[in-house]
Amino acid sequence: MNWRSTHAHWGLVAKTFHWLVALGIFVMAGIGLYMVGLPLGLAKLKVYLLHKALGITVLALVLLRLLWRLVDRHPRYPAGMPRWQVGAARASHALLYLLLLAVPVSGWVYNSASGFPLPWFGLVDLPAIAPVSKPLAHLALTVHKTAFWTLAALVLLHIAAALEHHVRRRDTVLTRMLPWRTARTQADCEGDPP
């Protein structure tokens, strides 16, 4: 499999980033929703520390993914896909990226504005990115929750769109993003000579 994407398929690096970030978001959503209901105590503190350290890791992955996207190419959309749908796909992907940044950054701002430390798995202490301030902490938490639920809704739409391509249109949009598909099988799907 190629490292880089081509006009027909996603490369190994783009696929790895996509699925690592997707997994990261699902795990983070689970931890976030679970931890807020825990009773005050050491266990809650430990889960909060895990949520914050993993969240920073997801943020780093999203930033690396965006950097990679600048130098990698984007596979073509299937021929015959209406222009408005291509526009909708591009806009929704841009919004996904924006929310993938907004959720962890607002979490970091909330943490900083609340005056809490931010150790990354006990290895480094990350700096505060905002001054200690109650109103700012309140605002950042509202942004964190709202951006998260908007992301969750958009991810559902995103999955529905991917399945629609596969089941109804029977094109390669979903299969070319699957980790176990190689360039060869995708080319075969598109009817290229063997």
Tokens 């080319």 belong to 187
Q: Write down the least CB distance from residue 149 to ligand HEM, Å.
A: 8
Cβ proximity of 17 and 68 under 8 Å: yes
Quick count: other Cβ atoms within 10 Å of Cβ 158? 17
Q: Does 110 contact ligand HEM by CB under 6 A?
A: yes
Instruction: Tell me the window of 16-24, 39-47, 130-138, 183-191 that interacts with ligand HEM (CB under 6 A).
Output: 16-24
Contacts 24+ apart (CB under 8 A), 164-168: 165/78
* Sign of the alpha-carbon torsion through 32, 38, 40, 45: negative
User: Which of residues 59 and 191 has its CB atom nearest to ligand HEM in the complex?
Assistant: 59
Q: How far apart are CA 193 and CA 16, in angstroms?
A: 28
- Give the residue, chosen from 69, 185, 189, 190, that forms a contact with ligand HEM under the rule CB under 6 A: 69
Q: Does 189 contact ligand HEM by CB under 6 A?
A: no
Binding mask 23-42 for ligand HEM (x = CB under 6 A): --x--xx--xx--x------
Buried b (16+ CB within 10 A) or exposed e, 25-50: beebbebbeebeeeeeeeeeeebbbe
Q: Does 147 contact ligand HEM by CB under 6 A?
A: no
Cβ proximity of 177 and 162 under 8 Å: yes
Q: Does 51 contact ligand HEM by CB under 6 A?
A: yes
> Taking the mean position of all CA atoms in its chain, how far away is CA 150?
13
* Stretch 111-140 residues interacting with ligand HEM (CB under 6 A): 111, 118
How many residues bind ligand HEM, per CB under 6 A? 42
Positions that interact with ligand HEM (CB under 6 A): 18, 21-22, 25, 28-29, 32-33, 36, 48, 51-52, 55-56, 58-59, 69, 74-75, 89, 93, 96-97, 100, 103-104, 107-108, 110-111, 118, 141, 144-145, 148, 155, 158-159, 162, 173-174, 177
